[in-house]
Structure 1
Amino acid sequence: MTIKRPVEAVRGQSLFDFDFPVYVNRARETFALQEHSHDFVEMAYVEEGKGFHYIDDQVVPAGKGDLFYIPVGVSHVFRPADAAAKPLIVYNCVFSLELFDRIIDSHSLLLPAEKADALLAIRSRTTWLRTEGPMADEAGRLMLRLHQEYALRRENRGLMIVTYIIQLLLTLVRSLDEENRGTFAGDDSRMEAATRLIRQHVQNPLSLTDISTKIHIGKRQFNRLIKKATGQTYTDYVHSLQIERCCELLRTTGGKIYEIAEKSGFKDMKHFHAIFKRKLGLSPREYRRRAEQAASVKANAMPEQ
C-alpha cells in the first residue's frame, strides 16, 4: 500500500512584504520541513551538499550547482542525503505570478516578440525545470547577489532584485534547448524505471538481483548507474527512502515507533535505530519531539485571521 505524503499549502501573503511580492532566503535543509505546494513561483539553487528533491511525485538527486524552477501548485521539499554528511544548503527565491507577468510585459515593449517569448516559455510551464552543469557557476553567482541584495535592504533594492530574477530566468530558458533535445535533467531511462520500482517497493525492498533483472542490466552495471544517479549505493538509497517515510509518519501520526518502523520496511528494530541515527543524527523519539515543538511554535506564531 502506498502512503500518500501530506502536502502543506503555502501562500505568498505569509512571506511577501505588502508592496513587494518577492521573498529570498538561504536555508539548511532538514527532515523537519513538510512537503508543500504554493501559490507563487519558486527558484531554488543548491549551494552546498547533496540530497534529494522530492518534487511532483518524483525523487530527484540534488547537488551543488542545481537550479530548480517550481511552478505554482507543484509540491516539493528538499531532504539531505545524510545528517552526518555535509549540510544541504539551498537558496530560495519566490515571487508572485503578478510580478512575473509584469516582467514579461515590460520586456515585450523592449524586445522583438520572439525574444520576449523566451520568458513566456518559462511562465507557461506547469512542470518543474532544472538546469545544471556548465551554467551552475553563473547561477550560483546570481543567486548569491540576489540574496545579498534582498537581505541588505538598500535603496532601490527592488529594481536590482528584479534584474537578478530575470537573469536567473534566462539561465533556465537556455536549459530548455537541452530539454527539447532530450538531454535535459537526463537520467538514463533505465534508472528512472529503477528508482520508480524502488519507491513502489520501499516497504518490501527488491533484492539487487531482482531489480537489475527487471530493468535488464547486470548487477555490476546497476550498482554503477544507481551510484551515479543518486550519489548513494542501492542499499543507502533504499534506507534514505525508508527513513523519509518514517519521518512523515512520526510527524503526522501517533503510531508507535516500532509500528512505524515496520510500515517503512524495517524488520529489525536495532538495525532501524542505527540507520535512523546515522541518517538524521538523532533518535526517532527525539525527532518526533522536535517536530512537535516546531509545529507548536509555528501554530502559535500564526496571526489571527
Structure 2
Amino acid sequence: MRSENKKKKRTWLRVTGILVLLILIGTGVYGYTVYKSLTNAVDTMHEPIERKKSEKRTEQITLEKKEPFSVLMLGVDEREGDRGRSDSMIVLTVNPNQNSVKMLSIPRDTRTEIIGKGYDDKINHAYAFGGVEMSMNTVENFLDIPIDYYMQINMEGFKDIVDAVGGVTVNNDLDFTYEGVHFPKGQLTLNGEKALKFSRMRYEDPRGDFGRQLRQREVIQGVLKKGASLSSLTNYDEIFTALGNNIKTNMKFNEMVDIQKNYRAAAKSVEQMSIKGSGTKIDKVYYLVVPDEEKQRVQNELKTHLEIN
C-alpha cells in the first residue's frame, strides 16, 4: 500500500510541477493590493541556494532578453526530523522564441552519478544526500544541460491550490469510481481532493496512461482558466498563500515578473517528454538503467530547445 501511495504522488507531480510554473507565467499583477499579496507570497517562497556557477552556462542568463531557461521541479515528501525525499523530479525548458515548454519527468530509480558523492545511485537520492544543490548538480550532469532555477513543491500542496481558486471545472469522458468517489460523464466541478483523485485513476481506464493524461490536462486547463481570471477573484490572497506555503524557489520577484511579461505565450504549448530505460537489479537493488543512446537523444532535444550549441 505504501509503495502504491508513493506511485500516486509521483504521478500527480507531473501535473503539479508544470501547473505551478504556468500559474506564475500566466498570471498578471492587478492593482496594489494584489501586488502586495503576491510579493508577500514570493518572499515566503524565495529560498536562495549557495551553488557554484554552472560550467554548462558560460554567461549569466538574462530573462529580459527572452533567453531560454530551465527549471528543476522537485516534488518532496516532507518528513519530520529529516530532509525528506524527492519523490518526483521534473525538468522544464522554456523557449520564448519557439513559444514552447518541454517537460521531462525523470524516473526516481534512474541510475546515475550523484555529483558530490562520486558514485552511482538512484537519482532521487541526491536530494536526501545534499538537498536542492546536489539534486540540481546531479540532474545537470545527467542531462548535460544547465539547470537555472529550482522549484520545490510540497506533495500535498496542490489540493490547497485547487481549493484556493474555488475548485476546477472539467469535462469527463469516462464514467468511473475511484477511492469512493463517483465521476459521471459530463462537466464536473471538483475540489482539491476530488481533482487529485480524478487525475490519479489509471487501471480502470481502458486507455491506461493516455486516458489519465487526458484527465490531467483537464485539471491543468481548469486551474489555468481560474488563474487567467485572477483579477476578478476576491480570494487572491488565499491563492497566493497556498502557493507561498507549498513552494520554495530561488526565483526572485523581478525574475517572475520578467517571466510573466516575456514568456507567458510559451505556456500555450507544453510538450511532455519521456526517457526510457530497463529495470535492472544491481547488488539486489532495483535501478532504471538508461542506455547511452537514449540519454543522448534526450540531451540533444533539450539542448536544441535551450538553443545550446
On whether the aligned pair clears a TM of 0.5, the verdict is no
- Normalising by the residue count of structure 2, what TM-score does the alignment of the two structures yield? 0.25
Higher helix share: 1
Query: Which structure has the larger Rg over C-alpha atoms?
Result: 1
User: Between Structure 1 and Structure 2, which shows a larger proportion of strand residues?
Assistant: 2
